[in-house]
Amino acid sequence: MTRILIFLAALYPAFANAEIPVTVRELGELLVAREFRAPASVISANRTVVTSQVTALIDEVAVDVGDEVSEGDLLVKLDPADARLAVAEAEADLAALDAQVEDARRRLARAEDLVGRDFVSDDELNARRTEVDVFQANRERQLVALRNARLTQLRTEIKAPFDAAVVERQGQLGNLATPGTPLLTLVQTADREVDAEIDPRYAEQLKTSADLRFVSDGQEWPLDLARLSPVIEERSRKLRGRFRFRDGTAAIGATGELVWNEPAGLLPVELIVQRGSDLGLFTVTDGRASFVAIPAAQEGRPAALDLPHGTPVVTRGHVRLQDGDAVQINRE
């Protein structure tokens, strides 16, 4: 037994100096992105209930639920008869006032001609001037009334305020519409956005992420951050984020997830080993293994670390290594 121990002791230096075969890759090739997710849905920029602005019977409803309309398309037509009469009456009143203003100006001109010859007193001249001013003011007021009458007539034809889809019809043919009566509900089809609730801990990294996307029913759409509220909502304890579609759009009302990756890569779990009380990885320096501790590493989780991306990291053979072991490098 003694002779065996002496023999093994003689061989130990050879084993101690033997190079351990390892595979090495640059750190930058190994880093993986940490993925984050948040519940999200597609919303319209505007959901509008179209109402009447005048009192009139509904003559025509030109669209129905499911129809798509463009900005300026006719939606509902109200009976214009009363509005036309109001316009005609306002125009007639304006014509009468025009005649009164013209007559008052002629009388003022005669008074101004006669005052120099003492045929008209100063008081009478002032009365003529006041008469012109009054008729002129009445004419201006009547112009406003005519504009209002014409505007009321225009409002008997209700048109789409934007490109939209009709999702509800409240107005019915023959019903009397009054100001505020709901007629149709429209959902704007352009300028749709993704709404998501964001954990405040990830707000800053979200701002710098270049890989934002909306995922729903197995499909993905790339996004850009539009707005991120600085206010944590009291009910959910989350920040409200809005995102614009970059290429293509999902259907309004679609639900899914906002997905993004952490800008800084993480070292995969399988490359992290424990030596003593520290977690870390093995690099190679001058042909020898070098253990580098990762202070923030947690067991079973990828770890962030501050090393150059060109650092050679042992990817195979690291489990058996000890700090300072001689290694034989094989590159993948």
Which pLDDT score is estimated for 331? 67
Interval 215-246: pLDDT, tens: 999 999 999 999 999 999 999 999 999 999 99
Paired with 182 in beta bridges are: 51
Residue-number span of the structural domain to which 107 is assigned: 81-152
What is the phi/psi pair of residue 149, to 5°? -65, -40
Contact between residue 209 and residue 263 where contact means Cβ atoms under 8 Å apart: yes
71 and 90 share one domain: no
Question: CATH number for the domain including 224?
Answer: 2.40.30.170
61 and 184 share one domain: yes
Alpha helices in the chain (DSSP H): 2-16, 27-30, 81-115, 122-154, 203-208
Tell whether 8 is covered by a domain: no
Which pLDDT score is estimated for 263? 67
For the ranges 39-48, 119-128, 198-207, 254-263, the maximum mean pLDDT occurs at 39-48
- Helix, strand or coil for residue 7? helix
Q: What integer is the mean pLDDT of 253-261?
A: 93
Does 67 have pLDDT greater than 90?
Answer: yes
Question: CATH number for the domain including 311?
Answer: 2.40.420.20
- AA letter at 318: H
Tell whether 5 is covered by a domain: no
